[in-house]
Every structure is written in structure tokens, then in C-alpha cells.
Structure 1
Amino acid sequence: MLDEGDDAPEVTAPMATPEAARETDRGSYTSDDVSEFSLADALADGPVVLAFYPGVYSRTCTRELCELRDWKADLADLDAPLYGVSADTPWSLLAFVDEYDIQYPLVSGFNNDVIADFGVRREEGIVRGIANRAVFVVDPSGTVTYTWAATEPLTFPDTDAVEAAVAAAARE
């Protein structure tokens, strides 16, 4: 897993946005509904929060993503976008965004290295390849300024600590 002070990797990956999820009927998504996420482009506007999670529609992840949805309003004042990242396909992410009214984009680690590049790819077991639960704050220069990783199931990041890290990264 990347540590504080490490340079974030160059990341380009498919992304499901709330706008695309609203504009197309669930079950009718095509590649035209999938956007491209570029970490470099996102960082042009300030710090970024990346929340890695194993997968949509699982009990713990659904709860976490909905908690982050509810918490995201606090980040709006800090002007830092939040992106969820999992190994799910962009189409399943679009359906999840639609069903749970997620108001932030979800990045697809399907068929790319974003999860491995951040060092949170599960390497063993029946579900190897999914992301371990982790949060990173990346400052505008591309430096990781905050990390958090779950050590037990049903644990979630301290959102106050993430907010403080975002505020600090924005000042740098």
C-alpha cells in the first residue's frame, strides 16, 4: 500500500458518473455512458479523495458507499472531489449509483491496474483481484498526504481525519 509522502501513480480508468446513471435507464448502459477518469486531470482542481472498496452490492460496501454519500456534503465545503474505486465493471457501477443515489463518481478497476498501483489489490483467496478497503488523499502535486486501511470487517474511515487531511492538502 502506498504511504504518506509517496507519489500517486498515473491513473486512467473507466468511470461511472451520477449524471450518466441518471440519463440512461438501468440495464441499458453502453460504453457511451462510461466516462474516463484521469487522476492528473482531477488533481488540476485541487486535492482528491480516493476511497477503495471491494465491490458494489456487498453488505459492507453498500453501507460504506452510502455513508460516504451522506458525508460527501461536508467535503463540498473543502472543494475536494471524492471518487470510489473498485474492481467492478463500469456498468455495474452505473446501476449502483442509480439505485443508491450516489452523488460522486465510481472508478472501475476492471481490466486496469489502478487497484494494484495503489497497493491495495487483494492477492490471495477466492476473491483475489478486488480492492482492500482503503482511503487516500492526494494533494494537487500528486503526493499522497493521507492513508487509511481497514484492518477488520465493518470498519470505515474516520471522516473527520479525512476532512482534516483534505484541508491540509488544499493549503499546501
Structure 2
Amino acid sequence: MAEFSLADALADGPVVLAFYPGVFSRTCTQELCELRDWKADLADLDAPLYGVSADTPWSLLAFMDEHDIQYPLVSGFNNSVVADFGVRRAEGIMRGIANRAVFVVDPSGTVTYTWKATEPLTFPDTDAVEAAVAEAAAGE
């Protein structure tokens, strides 16, 4: 396990951050596996994809092993990354977890694309994310 640094990740170009509520739930498993399969398309754009949740590092490692996830999953457990991007649930029984969202961050640290789920069982349009990554990379 290594500590995640957005600044370090941005040193090589734009990044994609995909926030999700939690591993091993039915919907998140579907989303993370779809992103795993989509990651091959994104590889041509040379932008790393990071999954981000409030899960513990150990549960993330177990999930990655079980579902052959080849991109990093970042733990927002006991740090502020979920809140920093404004996707931390503030109320209710599920408070503290991340809402489903995707951000493209350009090398300067500016968020150039945002998608936030407005209802359950919705996922980002990967074509729109790819276009945003290409645009962020072109602006380097």
C-alpha cells in the first residue's frame, strides 16, 4: 500500500478520479468492473484512472484481487479526499461515504470535467470522459 498524492499523479498529465460509495456493493462492483473494461480505451489517452472511496485500504486490496482491477483504488478512509472534491455524504445512515462522481483534473490541478450521479444506478458517459481527458492533455 502506498499513499496517494494527486500532485504526484498530475506530474505526468491529466488524471481521472472516479468516486464511488463502496466496494463489494452490487452497483459499485458493476461500475468498477465497467471502468476496468473501459480502461483499455483510456490507455490510448495516457491518463491514469483512480477509483476513490471511503473504504479501508484492506477492503480495496481484496476487491482488486477478486475482480482483477488493474487501476489503483484510493482509500479516502481517515483522510479528506472525498470531502475535498465535495462528494462526501453529510447526512443519513450512509454519511461519510462518497457519492458517485467522476472528475478529470488537468496537470495544473484544475478540474476540467465533472460528472455527478443524480440518481442510483447511473454511470458516467465514458465517451465524454475520454473527450475531457483529450482536451485536458492538449492544454498541457
The TM-score with structure 1 as length reference comes to 0.79
**Structure 2: segments with no counterpart, 5+ residues:** none
What is the percent sequence identity of the aligned residues? Answer: 91
Report the equivalent of 1:55: 22
Q: 1:106 to 1:170 in 2, by over 3 A?
A: farther
Please report how far the alpha carbon of residue 169 of structure 1 lies from its aligned counterpart in structure 2 after TM superposition.
3.6
Contact 1:46 1:170 in 2 (8 A): no
Please report how far the alpha carbon of residue 170 of structure 1 lies from its aligned counterpart in structure 2 after TM superposition.
3.8
Structure of higher CA gyration radius: 1
Contact 1:145 1:169 in 2 (8 A): no
Contact 1:88 1:108 in 2 (8 A): yes
CA distance, structure 1, for counterparts of residue 4 and residue 41 of structure 2? 23
Aligned to 2:102, the other structure's residue is in SS state: strand
CA distance, structure 1, for counterparts of residue 13 and residue 83 of structure 2? 24
Aligned residues: 139
Please report how far the alpha carbon of residue 41 of structure 1 lies from its aligned counterpart in structure 2 after TM superposition.
0.3
Please report how far the alpha carbon of residue 74 of structure 1 lies from its aligned counterpart in structure 2 after TM superposition.
0.6
CA distance, structure 2, for counterparts of residue 160 and residue 114 of structure 1? 25
Please report how far the alpha carbon of residue 127 of structure 1 lies from its aligned counterpart in structure 2 after TM superposition.
1.1
CA distance, structure 2, for counterparts of residue 130 and residue 99 of structure 1? 22
CA distance, structure 2, for counterparts of residue 161 and residue 95 of structure 1? 30
**Structure 1: segments with no counterpart, 5+ residues:** 1-33
- 1:40-79 aligned at under 5 Å gives the runs 40-79=7-46
Please report how far the alpha carbon of residue 171 of structure 1 lies from its aligned counterpart in structure 2 after TM superposition.
3.6
CA distance, structure 2, for counterparts of residue 171 and residue 65 of structure 1? 28
Contact 1:51 1:84 in 2 (8 A): yes
The TM-score with structure 2 as length reference comes to 0.97
Q: 1:41 to 1:156 in 2, by over 3 A?
A: same
CA distance, structure 2, for counterparts of residue 160 and residue 141 of structure 1? 23
C-alpha RMSD over aligned residues: 0.8
Task: Choose which of 59, 62, 87 in structure 1 pairs with 2:54.
Answer: 87
Please report how far the alpha carbon of residue 36 of structure 1 lies from its aligned counterpart in structure 2 after TM superposition.
1.2
Q: 1:155 to 1:111 in 2, by over 3 A?
A: same
CA distance, structure 2, for counterparts of residue 135 and residue 144 of structure 1? 10
Runs of 4 or more consecutive aligned structure 1 residues displaced over 6 Å after TM superposition:
none
Please report how far the alpha carbon of residue 82 of structure 1 lies from its aligned counterpart in structure 2 after TM superposition.
0.1
CA distance, structure 1, for counterparts of residue 104 and residue 10 of structure 2? 11
Contact 1:132 1:150 in 2 (8 A): yes
